Amino acid sequence: MNDEKMVILGGVRLRGEVKISGAKNSAVAVLVASILVNGKCVIENVPRVSDIYNLIGIIKSLGCEADFVGDDTVEIDCSEIKSYKATGAAVRKIRASSYFMGALLGRLHKASVDLPGGCDFGVRPIDQHLKGFKALGADSDIEYGVVNITADKLVGDTVYMDVVSVGATIDVMLAAVLAEGMTVIESAAKEPHVVDVANFLNSMGANIRGAGTDVIKIRGVKELHGGSFSVIPDQIEAGTFMIAAAATGGDVLVNNIIPKHMESLSAKLEEMGVGIEEFDEAIRVFVKQPELRRCNVKTQPYPGFPTDLQPPMLTLLTKAKGTSIMTENVWENRFQYVSELNRMGAYISLEDSDEAVVEGGSKLVGAPVCAKDLRAGAAMVVAALMADGVTEIYNLKYIDRGYENFEKKLKKLGAQITRRCVNPMPDFLKTAGEK
């Protein structure tokens, strides 16, 4: 359903303070990881976004108790879990459903999970997840879109990842926590949310060492107990606001963040001539000079430049005079939104599926555009804030998957932004955006 649109009048400099929510990508993993716990988990700093509501619904369908009990607090109790089957439309909608494979396998030695969906930016394989489960002694097959995994018992082993994968690293960690003996994950992903999931599991009694490095060692324990945990701040939401501040020539204090997680972005913004001032839990982004300098950016696994900030960053590069090159090294098809930016007057050409060349310096002009996926949707918001005139953004369901109170936060910074019903639906939308 495309029943709402965002309407933004561009050209306002964002000013003030914004408080960043809990990390969506960490919260989705921590919620599913609670399946491994025999007791009540109280998870704080959980953002109220649609991916989270979907996951809570799936966790309940397994016979567990799960619900928001405060603004940002979720209580989950999976002591009485009844089902090993996570299937259905809600499961297919979100990529994080892949974590049900590791968590159900770890807890029940059996999992049937619909092949996970999520945003469409190329093939999203799960071979590394399955390879890890196999090393621990599980068999798997895929039948009519459902992955079935079983193990008589799980025994730790060394798993060499062929690609650096956030999802596979977390999933194997989940399967290994209650296994016998020691599991070693080599070439593990180092993203902040991998560390956060390990910290959550350790606080519930797991024995995981090395998260945040290439090698993670998990010594199996008999049982996990309940407890409380607070999710880290959202690196990608923080980055989106930092970029929006720079894009509008503004001055914004981005609060409640871990500045270390932002280093690759802060460095690029400074290279472009944007002012960055770091505090313990905040970064101030301010524009020192009217013209931004061009720069090249390559996405990489953490601590490199995050692929999820590639769309908003490419949007910012349209403002910098000269030629900038954005190279996408993580996903094979993540430039589908470029046509939308070009409709707003950007000059971006795709040299290859992994390289976008921006001829920057021209002003964007408002237009009706589609959010092609979650982070591409964030890029449309940044573009609209930069543009002359009014931009209408459709397909908000993507943006709503990952940004809590987006309009409210932007409004507080001075943005002219509102949400309206789409009635009737414009013709160009009937064929666009639905994947």
CA distance 376 to 370: 9
Positive or negative: CA dihedral 340, 341, 346, 350: negative
Among 137, 167, 249, 377, binds ligand UD1 (CB under 6 A): 167
Among 64, 74, 168, 387, binds ligand UD1 (CB under 6 A): 168
Among the listed ranges 9-17, 57-65, 134-142, 166-174, the one in contact with ligand UD1 (CB under 6 A) is 166-174
CB of 2 to ligand UD1, least distance (A): 22
Query: Among residues 41, 64, 119, 295, which one is catalytic?
Result: 119
Do 46 and 66 meet the contact criterion of CB atoms below 8 Å apart?
A: no
Nearest CA-CA partner of 299 in 276, 331, 337: 331
Nearer to ligand UD1, 138 or 344 (CB): 138
Distance (Å) of CA 353 to CA 5, 183, 349, 378, 380: 29, 36, 10, 21, 20
Nearest CA-CA partner of 402 in 380, 376, 435, 374: 374
CB of 82 to ligand UD1, least distance (A): 26
CB of 403 to ligand UD1, least distance (A): 13
Among the listed ranges 164-172, 267-275, 376-384, 386-394, the one in contact with ligand UD1 (CB under 6 A) is 164-172
CB of 171 to ligand UD1, least distance (A): 9
CB of 121 to ligand UD1, least distance (A): 8
Among 16, 70, 88, 125, binds ligand UD1 (CB under 6 A): 125
Nearer to ligand UD1, 10 or 402 (CB): 402
Query: Catalytic annotation on 370?
Result: no
| Contact set for ligand UD1, span 327-386 (CB under 6 A) | 330-331
Q: Identify the helix (H) or strand (E) that includes residue 416.
A: strand 416-421
- Which residues on neighbouring strands pair with residue 209, listed in sequence order? 217
- Which residues on neighbouring strands pair with residue 178, listed in sequence order? none
Among 25, 45, 140, 336, binds ligand UD1 (CB under 6 A): 25
Among 21, 128, 199, 264, binds ligand UD1 (CB under 6 A): 128
Residue whose beta carbon is closest to ligand UD1: 167
Contact flag: residue 261 with ligand UD1 (CB under 6 A): no
Tell me the backbone φ, ψ of residue 412, rounded to 5 degrees.
Answer: -60, -25
**Angle at Cα 49 formed by Cα 47 and Cα 50, nearest 5°?**
150
**Residue 181 C-alpha from the chain's centroid:** 32
* 251-255 vs 282-287, strand pairing mode: antiparallel
CB of 311 to ligand UD1, least distance (A): 11
Among 307, 315, 336, 395, binds ligand UD1 (CB under 6 A): 307
Contact flag: residue 308 with ligand UD1 (CB under 6 A): yes
DSSP per residue, 164-213: --HHHHHHHHHHHTTSBSEEEEES----HHHHHHHHHHHHTT-EEE-BTB
Contact flag: residue 166 with ligand UD1 (CB under 6 A): yes
Contact flag: residue 129 with ligand UD1 (CB under 6 A): yes
Do 104 and 86 meet the contact criterion of CB atoms below 8 Å apart?
A: yes
Among the listed ranges 122-130, 264-272, 336-344, 347-355, the one in contact with ligand UD1 (CB under 6 A) is 122-130
Residues designated catalytic: 119
